[in-house]
Chains A and B, each alone.
Chain A
């Protein structure tokens, strides 16, 4: 096994200076937060570490959950256990807490982080659909040549570029996530389908947000997971659901709308037919208030 530099910074400024230094020397470090994917991946791709590894998991200032200016502010190194158990997340964005509580196993949730889940940019990532419907914005930080901290904000749908690809540069860190808080009269749900409850990657997933008044939905946002190379926005589904009063005939037309919004594939976990079908079932349950 190749020996290489490793860093375990305790503060964000320390981490950014390590990255600045690496940039000046032309070295590429693998940034990890939680590390639950990195060692299995290194078995197949030993070059994943490039010139070294920097584990940002222990940076205390990236581990908090709070509310600022009416938005949820979630540090990138918040673990799935923290998300699932946080009174703020459970009260203000319950579906995100339930999404986090279904990831992996207790051991994985104790280590895996929301920042790591987002930066993996997997279409099957369990926190991502909620990020889309909550219009989450990513706070990305880096140090310039003078060591001053630079910051930029990128909405999640521009942040995710493709499977495994994001907008983040090699010397930048995702510091935190700003997400909208659904209002009290809003329905916010996340449902996923998987072969079993624990340690299973989703076959399909749906995040839904909308306000139901007098039998009609408005301000609907839908994000579909595992049905394309990136998370898909359910635009045709939204149009259908907002088109009138919720009814059986609306529910029957959901499958058609799902087909317009996404084109899932067959793979080892599921088939395209099942994926589309189960997404429409989940949406039906949500709009009919059956779950």
Chain B
């Protein structure tokens, strides 16, 4: 069936099975391979993308449910200045090891900070509770998100 996609601002009408997972549409039909696929059951969060501004597991979204919605992946999120700050803080704090979870981590961090610009450590842990990382032990990721929040607030005050 024909479905209208809008992924990172690229609009395409594709003829696909409605139950095809959005993560596969993103990777196979749009070539955005920054979105990683881990568990295919919503546990690991590696496939996290923004759908109409909210972070969702793209492995759980049937293609039909993305019809007409705005999808943003790790490739698209850097058009937002906030995401650049998050990327820089992840780098500065050594929050990335193997990197497989990072696209999802960055998307969830962005969604969290959009909603809550001044999160406590507990808020950060809850905000990232749908993203698993098997390398870092989370400490450096949490520090990076905390530093991103501070930097974004500083920038907002400057304005």
Contacts and interface: CB of A to CB of B under 8 A. Distances in A.
Interface of A: 1-8, 32, 35-36, 38-40, 42-43, 49, 52-53, 55, 57-58, 81, 104-108, 110-111, 197-199
A108 B47 CA distance: 12
A111 B61 contact: yes
B18 interface: yes
Interface string B36-67: 00001111010010000011110111111101
Given A1-B17, A4-B17, A53-B19, A106 B108 contact: yes
B45 A107 contact: yes
B18 A4 contact: yes
A40 B129 contact: no
B1 interface: yes
B41 A106 contact: no
Contacts of B65: 8, 35, 55, 57-58
B56 A55 contact: no
A1 B20 contact: yes
A111 B65 CA distance: 10
Among A2, A58, A107, max chain B CB count under 10 A is at A107
B103 interface: no
A106 B127 contact: yes
Among B43, B55, B62, B68, max chain A CB count under 10 A is at B62
B128 to A, nearest CB: 8
Q: Is chain A's interface secondary structure helix, strand, loop, or mixed overall?
A: mixed
Interface string B97-137: 00000000000100110000000000000110111000000
Interface in B56-99: 56-57, 59-65, 67-68
Contacts of A8: 64-65, 67-68
Given A3-B1, A42-B19, A105-B45, A199 B129 contact: yes
Smallest CB-CB A-B distances: 8 pairs: A105-B130, A6-B18, A198-B129, A6-B64, A40-B41, A110-B54, A107-B130, A3-B17
Given A1-B20, A55-B65, A198-B130, 17 more contacts: A1-B19, A2-B17, A6-B1, A6-B18, A6-B19, A32-B62, A36-B57, A38-B19, A38-B60, A40-B41, A53-B18, A55-B62, A81-B54, A107-B48, A107-B55, A107-B130, A111-B61
B21 interface: yes
B130 A111 contact: no
A105 B60 CA distance: 13
A287 B64 CA distance: 47
A77 to B, nearest CB: 12
B130 A39 contact: no
A128 B112 CA distance: 28
